[in-house]
């Protein structure tokens, strides 16, 4: 069968014929896989923790949608069910054993298509039922490839609600209509964050350093999300006018962390999701601001099985209404491996169609 392979940590990408390795569990046929920044970093040899499962090649792909070909002895799934496989697989620590490998204590987990486990960019694979989440609403099958990046957002909602209830930061009428959330980054993750938090009744401001391209602008307009182009107006000037109550970073830059800490309101909540590998600068003075303003800064990575299920439910409820299809800006064949290194005009999410 066809598979897309890389050689970590060196990188590179090629399509090749490999044998289907028989494993315990269900046999699945890949429908779609999404490409994200992590895949590109692995291909470019910039992700130093990328590693193979066996041998010296890794099957790429951690965002996937698949169909059950053979359900084995599963009670939960049957042939023809559409599923999303989970990326991170537990090690043996306490949190991993609790099903919360997103809060792994010792780093002893593997991640499909990234570190220590072959991914889903291949025609078929085997997986255990506990790592599969069913897409009951088959009418959203074209969008459900967004489940994996969306589950990260559902975990952010969990964190956000926890902190928001601890210090009641809502408006006088008990809603969040008067509260502003600044979302840094307008790639797939940034736009999914903006979309989900918009449905929670917040006023959302998507932030980037340049004007939005047409695809992004249209998506924001449909969903009534505002845009701040920091090449035209600075964060500090904008947040003086509108008040930065909450902030989520999907970029991963220390400059953004500084901008947030200097401009966010007292008792603000700031969730840091982005990881760009940018090293902290020597100037930590801005961190004092976080202390004085009681800012909750929370790092967030990955999500648990429950967040995958919530992601699928969100896509089912809001996918069409919020035009999430506009985020899928290109559908390609597995052979078109140039898509890992090229950046198309207006590119947000590229998807490979397997069958
Ligand atoms: Zn663990």
Ligand 1 centre and the CA of 301: distance in Å?
13
Give the model's pLDDT for residue 166: 82
Ligand 1 centroid to residue 103 C-alpha, Å: 7
Q: Could you tell me the two tokens for 247?
A: 């902030």
User: Residue 8: its pLDDT value, please?
Assistant: 96
Query: Whose CA is closest to 64, among 146, 172, 130?
Result: 146
**What's the CA-to-centroid distance between 274 and ligand 1, angstroms?**
21
**What does the domain layout of the chain look like in residue ranges?**
2-134+327-353, 150-299
Distance 123 CA to ligand 1 centre (A): 29
String of DSSP letters for 125-163:
EEE-GGGEEE---GGGTTTGGGHHHHHHHHHHHHHHHHH
Distance CA 28, CA 23 (A): 11
Q: How many CB atoms lie within 10 A of CB 71?
A: 18
Note the pLDDT of residue 2.
97
Coil, strand or helix at 214? helix
Q: What CATH architecture is 150-299?
A: 3-Layer(aba) Sandwich (3.40)
- Kindly report the pTM of this predicted structure: 0.93
325-349 pLDDT per residue, tens: 999 999 999 999 999 999 889 999 9
Which residues are CB-contacts of 342 (< 8 A; sequence separation ≥ 6)? none
Residue 303 CA, ligand 1 centroid: distance in Å: 13
Predicted local confidence at residue 277, as pLDDT: 56
Q: Which of 96, 69, 94 is nearest to 80 (CA)?
A: 69
**Cα–ligand 1 centroid distance for 97 (angstroms):** 7
Q: How much is the pLDDT for 203?
A: 97
Rounded to the nearest angstrom, the distance between the alpha carbon of 305 and the centre of ligand 1 is 15
DSSP state, residue 81: -
Structure tokens given for 220: 């924001």
pLDDT digits (tens, 9 = 90+) for 67-117: 999 999 999 999 999 999 999 999 999 999 999 999 999 999 999 999 999
Which residue stretches of the chain have pLDDT < 70?
A: 276-284
Q: How far apart are CA 144 and CA 139, in angstroms?
A: 9
20 alpha carbon – ligand 1 mean position (Å): 28
Distance 75 CA to ligand 1 centre (A): 27
Q: Helix, strand or coil for residue 97?
A: helix
Q: Which residues lie near ion ligand 1 (Cβ < 5 Å)?
A: 91, 93, 96, 104
* Centroid of ligand 1 to alpha carbon of 89 (angstroms): 9
Instruction: Tell me, in angstroms, the distance from the centre of ligand 1 to residue 130's CA.
Output: 16
Q: What is the pLDDT of residue 168?
A: 81
- 101 C-alpha vs ligand 1 centroid, how far in Å? 6
Do the first three CATH levels of 2-134+327-353 and 150-299 match, i.e. the same topology? no
Q: How far is the CA of 158 from the centre of ligand 1 (A)?
A: 20
How far away, in angstroms, is 7 Cα from ligand 1 center?
25
Q: What is the reported pLDDT for 295?
A: 83
Query: What local confidence, expressed as pLDDT, does residue 227 receive?
Result: 98
Count of Cβ atoms closer than 10 Å to residue 90 Cβ? 20
Task: Give 327 Cα–ligand 1 centroid separation in angstroms.
Answer: 33
> Which regions of the chain does DSSP assign to beta strands (E)?
2-7, 11-17, 26-35, 58-59, 63-70, 82-85, 88-89, 110-112, 116-117, 124-127, 132-134, 180-184, 203-208, 226-229, 244-249, 264-272, 296-299, 328-332, 349-353
Q: Tell how far the Cα of 104 is from the centroid of ligand 1, in angstroms.
A: 4
- Domain covering 2-134+327-353: architecture: Alpha-Beta Complex (3.90)
What is the 149 CA–ligand 1 centroid distance (Å)? Answer: 21
The dihedral region occupied by 174, where left means phi > 0, alpha psi between -120 and 50, and beta the remainder, is: left
The predicted-structure confidence for 54-70, as pLDDT tens digits, reads as follows 999 999 999 999 999 99
Distance from residue 133's CA to the centre of ligand 1 (Å): 21
């Amino acid at each position: 069968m066809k598979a897309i392979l890389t050689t970590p940590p060196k990188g590179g990408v090629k399509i090749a014929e490999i044998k289907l390795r028989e494993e315990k569990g269900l046999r699945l046929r890949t429908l779609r896989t999404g490409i994200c920044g992590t895949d590109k970093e692995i291909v470019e040899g910039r992700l130093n923790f990328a590693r193979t499962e066996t041998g010296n090649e890794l099957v790429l792909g951690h965002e996937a949608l698949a169909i059950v070909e053979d359900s084995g002895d599963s009670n939960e799934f049957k042939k023809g069910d559409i599923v999303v496989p989970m990326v991170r697989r537990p090690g043996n620590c306490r949190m991993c054993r609790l099903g919360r490998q997103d809060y792994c204590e010792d780093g002893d987990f593997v991640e499909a298509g990234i570190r220590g486990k072959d991914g889903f960019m291949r025609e078929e694979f085997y997986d255990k039922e506990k790592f599969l989440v069913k897409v009951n609403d088959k009418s959203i099958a074209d969008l459900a490839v967004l489940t994996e990046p969306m589950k990260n957002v559902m975990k952010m909602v969990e964190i956000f609600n926890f902190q928001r209830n601890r210090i009641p930061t809502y408006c006088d009428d008990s809603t969040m209509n008067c509260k502003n959330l600044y979302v840094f980054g307008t790639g797939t993750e940034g736009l999914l964050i903006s979309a989900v938090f918009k449905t929670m009744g917040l006023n959302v401001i998507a932030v980037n350093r340049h004007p939005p391209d047409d695809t992004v602008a249209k998506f924001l307009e449909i969903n009534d999300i505002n845009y701040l182009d920091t090449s035209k107006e600075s964060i500090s000037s904008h947040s003086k006018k509108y008040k930065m109550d909450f902030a989520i970073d999907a970029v991963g830059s220390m400059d953004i962390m500084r901008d947030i800490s200097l401009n966010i309101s007292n008792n603000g909540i700031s969730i840091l999701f982005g990881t760009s590998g940018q090293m902290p600068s020597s100037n930590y003075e801005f961190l004092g601001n976080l202390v004085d303003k009681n800012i909750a800064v929370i790092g967030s990575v990955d999500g648990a099985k429950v967040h995958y299920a919530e992601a699928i439910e969100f896509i089912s409820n809001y996918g069409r209404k919020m035009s999430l299809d506009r985020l899928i800006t290109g559908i390609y064949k597995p052979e078109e491996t140039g898509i890992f290194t090229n950046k198309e005009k207006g590119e947000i999410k590229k998807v490979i169609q397997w069958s």
